[in-house]
Copies of this chain bind each other. A is one copy, B any other.
Amino acid sequence: MNTALAELKQRLAEIDDLQRALSVLNWDARTMMPPRGAAGRAEAAATLAGLVHERFVDDEIGRLIDRAAPLADELDYDSDDASLIRVTRRDWEKERRVPSEIAANLAREAGNAHVAWLEAREANDFAAFLPALQRVTAVALRWAECMEPGDSPYDAFLDEYEPGMKTAEVKAVFDVLRPELTKIVRESGEPADNSFLEGDYSIATQQEFNAGILRDFGFEEGAYRLDPTVHPFATSFGRTDIRMTTRYRDDFLGSIWPTMHEAGHGLTYQGTDPSLARSPLYGNASLGLGESQSRTWENLVGRSLPFWRGRLPELQRLFPQLEPIDLDTWYRGINRVAPGLIRVESDEVTYSLHIILRFELEQELVSGTLAPADLPEAWAAKMQELLGVEVPDDRRGVLQDVHWTRASYGYFPTYALGNVLSVQIWRAVEEELPDLDAQLEAGEFRPLYESLQRRLYRHGAKFTPMETLERAIGASEIDPQPYLAYLREKVAGLRPA
């Protein structure tokens, strides 16, 4: 075996160990840590993150990549080893571009902006967040200047989440979505009744139902957890230690879909080829591809008629107050389309419009055509234009999301790309599995999981997003049409008979 490759792998494995340790710290901070542990935790996490960075940008990693490169040329492009060398070179060259002073500044200003944002949101006062937003954005733009010459700053931001993807490609997709989605929303008619989701819904019983869902989706016993948090998320410390969270309220049956959403992320981790463990290739190729799978299990499975035809009786047994609700009423209720103020509460149709709004504002912010001080006004205008709703205050407007506190421009679009990709991939699975609907109704998720695992999950982060899509379904472009067709058909099916 090539000794340079062996040594490179050993170094990357140890870096991955430290990265996973950092992930445990972050999971704990968000699920278990007593609030007053935050300051000490921030110090430990910063030291560990600094060490991960320092070890990765080491000159020796570059030398080992160079020494292993001839081997990569001989190997099959798709082999684990060739992929490891290729992806490591890409990431190493990128991370080396950023002077540590800028990285440290960015981390510090993001920390400050997060504190300012929490206070500003509480006080419902964008002006209190503005100075911190300006500072973190300024540092982020300096960071972007370090990136690939020829790329726009927004390209640089986007590349963090969708390696190799350009702003123009996203814009092309969104330019198709924008008019069509607003049209579908307009034509969706009177929002269905979903008031039955409010009431007395014991958290313990919701937990029991969710546990059954995760088991049936195909999680391996003794290899995952589901915990309560305010903001649901999923992470993983290896394919047999997957951590998901969801949000519970005892007066609202709302934990099911966040659970299925995070389960979708979890399944991509579980499905990653075991040979990629303890390497930078473990995980997802991009945020958009990851999100396509959370959306698949949340929406394409979890808001589908076949799924609930099979599952509603169990839910009614657990919550007898749902017995009077028939399948049709239930299905229309949980798929209620109604323009609203809050992204994370929005439905399948309006969701991507919330994203397009942010994508457009971000580009203006980054290019300097929109001053940060004018954000609330621009936000309100676009909400009116895209969703036809009035923004009453900053809290329910521009201050609702955490992402800009880290100047994570380019992150939001991946959510909508995930929606689009989810249907594109689903169509291929449907062709492969003619009995898919019957399987969903019967609670047999194994064929679906195995198809997605074989097409997508097993590849981890070996390829670029588009290379991965090519291997998953033979397509090399993001195509918004299947997603639009799916939404049109779905909305048509929601109208009262």
Q: Which residues of A contact B (CB under 8 A)?
A: 13-14, 17-18, 20-22, 24-25, 28, 32-37, 39-41, 43-48, 51, 220, 222-225, 237-238, 240-242, 277-278
Contact = CB atoms under 8 A, between A and B. Distances in A.
Contacts of A223: 34, 36-37
Contacts of A28: 24, 28
A32 B225 contact: yes
19 contacts: A14-B47, A17-B44, A24-B44, A28-B28, A32-B225, A34-B222, A34-B223, A34-B224, A34-B240, A34-B241, A36-B220, A36-B240, A37-B241, A39-B240, A40-B238, A40-B278, A41-B237, A41-B241, A51-B51
A220 B20 CA distance: 30
Contacts of A37: 223, 237-238, 240-241
B238 A48 contact: no
A47 B241 contact: no
A347 to B, nearest CB: 33
A25 B19 CA distance: 12
B241 A36 contact: yes
- Of A35, A39, A46, A237, chain B has the most CB atoms within 10 Å of the CB of A237
Contact of A241 (B18, B20, B21, B33): B33
Given A47-B14, A223-B34, A40 B20 contact: yes
Given A18-B51, A21-B22, 7 more contacts: A17-B44, A21-B47, A28-B28, A34-B225, A34-B241, A37-B240, A41-B241
A40 B225 contact: no
A357 to B, nearest CB: 37
B222 A35 contact: yes
Contacts of A39: 240
A44 B32 contact: no
A434 to B, nearest CB: 34
Contact of A18 (B48, B220, B222, B277): B48
